Amino acid sequence: MRRPDAPSNPDVLAVDHLTVRLGRRAVLDDVSLRLTDRGHVVGLFGQNGAGKSTLLRCVAGLLVRHDGTVAVPDGGVALLPDSPFLYPRLRLDAAVRLAADLWADLDAVHAVRTLDRLGLPPRLRVGEASKGMLEQVHLALVLARRRRLTLLDEPLAAVDPLTRDQLVDLLRSHREPGSTVVVSTHLVSGLEDLFDEVVVVHDGRIVLHDEVGAVARRGGLEARVKEVLAGGHRAA
């Protein structure tokens, strides 16, 4: 069992009236969001520039210049940012060692098992890896952290369909009862069975937050997300 026991607090994440400004523009505008179910995979949908990355960075505690509050009662979060963070000259085995030195919560054995299963060679340098491989390495490292809340910012963007399927399989295999994973993406098609909840962000506001089952009953996830984004509903 990699995850610690669940605490008594019911919320996994509580965001209240979060507003983030970049100059005069509100990147996030009075956003409130509560995630209460552990073991869920939450799809965070929205177009480019909708505010998904900013929301995740606020939750991770990396952006502190904001109004409103962010509470993660279970403690810290693991964040996969939307751009690569490993140094290009690192070999993969050295990357795992470095991550283990920097991240006290990293399960290095878990990370190696995942990388090995994906067929990634330990002596491959980060700078020599393809974009798909790079995404797999980053994802494997972040998923190997013992955190109750994991935030993945666009892990499926700009990879080929085969790699995307591998990444989705990796996410599925990571599903654990005590931990919640939030996956930010602007892709909707073919991901219905991955998610338990769906959150849609549009122009810095949350316009939809519902169970995937409920959304599916109203015409399917893809159609509903497109409908919400097109119509700008305030259904949160």
Instruction: Using CB under 8 A, list all residues that contact other proteins.
Output: 20, 22, 27, 54, 57, 60-65, 76, 78-79, 81, 83, 85-87, 89-90, 93-94, 96-105, 108-109, 111-113, 115-116, 121-123, 142
Single-letter residue type at 37: D
In the bound state with other proteins, the residue whose beta carbon lies nearer, of 108 and 236, is 108
In the bound state with other proteins, the residue whose beta carbon lies nearer, of 122 and 213, is 122
- 8 Å CB contact between 92 and 165: no
- Scanning the chain, the segments in alpha helix (DSSP H) are 52-59, 92-102, 108-117, 131-143, 161-174, 212-217, 221-231
- 8 Å CB contact between 46 and 200: yes
> What's the CA gap between 163 and 133, in Å, rounded?
8
What's the closest the beta carbon of residue 189 comes to other proteins, in angstroms? Answer: 29
Among positive and negative, which fits the CA dihedral 181, 66, 186, 142?
negative
What's the closest the beta carbon of residue 60 comes to other proteins, in angstroms? Answer: 8
What's the closest the beta carbon of residue 176 comes to other proteins, in angstroms? Answer: 20
In the bound state with other proteins, the residue whose beta carbon lies nearer, of 62 and 214, is 62
What's the closest the beta carbon of residue 80 comes to other proteins, in angstroms? Answer: 8
In the bound state with other proteins, the residue whose beta carbon lies nearer, of 23 and 161, is 23
Q: Count other C-beta atoms under 10 Å from residue 138's C-beta.
A: 22
In the bound state with other proteins, the residue whose beta carbon lies nearer, of 115 and 212, is 115
What's the closest the beta carbon of residue 5 comes to other proteins, in angstroms? Answer: 20
Dihedrals φ, ψ of 21, to 5°? -110, 140
